[in-house]
A and B are shown apart, each in its own frame.
Chain A
Amino acid sequence: DGGITQSPKYLFRKEGQNVTLSCEQNLNHDAMYWYRQDPGQGLRLIYYSQIVNDFQKGDIAEGYSVSREKKESFPLTVTSAQKNPTAFYLCASRPTGESYGYTFGSGTRLTVV
């Protein structure tokens, strides 16, 4: 079945460490997204990519980095510069040419210990 796989489901990180969240899709979608969810804050856009080797900052990109070397993969690195990284992270994808048709992964819950 086609879909988006986020791994791991739960992730613990020590303060000062970088950590990378995985997002893989087999839907042949061109566009991919990372959202962050905090209680009462809704989903806020971190980064998005509309094509391989290209990506744009979203509303809260500081302290995060991404890469898009393959169409299927859009990993998110939470760097030590991110002041409050504990949150729920959702990855999504969408076919090109549509303003709908979003598919979401099941999320990664990151906790800084």
Chain B
Amino acid sequence: AQKVTQAQTEISVVEKEDVTLDCVYETRDTTYYLFWYKQPPSGELVFLIRRNSFDEQNEISGRYSWNFQKSTSSFNFTITASQVVDSAVYFCALSVLGYSTLTFGKGTMLLVSP
């Protein structure tokens, strides 16, 4: 069975602060995919990134960066110089090769104040 844990239920920061959202996953499979999604107040899920288990390179996209560490089963997400528009619920998710479903963490609500 797969499991995704997002221990931070809610994070509040002031604009321009850096913030890291934690994600820890569990799976016995060697081939898997990790995802981050953003859910703004409107409700739709916005895809941010996908990483497969064989690619441990960190990734940076603008103010967003992701740190994938297989040794600690973590896939953390950092927002640099946060902005009010970053306020949303962020979900980490896992899918396993050959298994059809996507397993989500419980989400972290990020509130960025001006």
Interface residues of A (CB under 8 A from B): 31, 33, 35, 40-45, 48, 50, 58, 88, 90, 92, 94, 99-100, 102, 104-107, 109
Name which residue of chain A comes closest to B52, CB basis. A100
Contact of B106 among A33, A41, A58 (CB under 8 A): A41
Report how far A107 CA is from B42 CA in the complex, Å.
9
* A43 lies within 8 A of B91 (CB): yes
Q: In the complex, what distance in Å separates the CA atom of A43 from the CA atom of B6?
A: 13
Q: For residue A42, which residue of chain B has the nearest CB?
A: B106
B9 nearest in chain A by CB position: A40
| B interface bracket (residues with beta carbon within 8 Å of A) | 20 to 34
CA A33 – CA B107 in complex, angstroms? Answer: 19
Whether A107 contacts B43 by the Cβ 8 Å rule is yes
**Known contacts A40-B9, A42-B105; A104 and B33 CB within 8 A of each other:** no
Known contacts A48-B100, A58-B101, A99-B99; decide if A88 and B107 are in contact (CB<8 Å). Answer: no
Binding site for A on B (CB under 8 A): 6, 9, 31-33, 35, 37, 42-45, 47, 50, 91, 95-102, 104-107
Minimum-distance CB pairs A-B, first 8: A42-B106, A104-B45, A43-B104, A107-B43, A106-B44, A99-B95, A42-B104, A100-B33
Interface of A: prevailing SS: strand
Contacting residues, chain B, for A106 (C-beta < 8 A): 42-44
Main secondary structure of the interface of B (DSSP, over half): loop
A40-B9, A107-B43, A109-B43 known; A50+B107 contact, CB < 8 A: no
B106 in contact with A100 (CB, 8 Å): no
With both chains docked as a complex, state the minimum distance between the C-beta of B12 and any C-beta of chain A, in angstroms: 16
Partner of B44, one of A33, A42, A107: A107
Contact B105 A100 (CB under 8 A): no
Known: A99-B32, A100-B50. 11 other contacts (CB 8 A): A40-B9, A41-B106, A42-B6, A43-B91, A50-B100, A99-B95, A99-B97, A102-B35, A106-B42, A106-B43, A109-B43
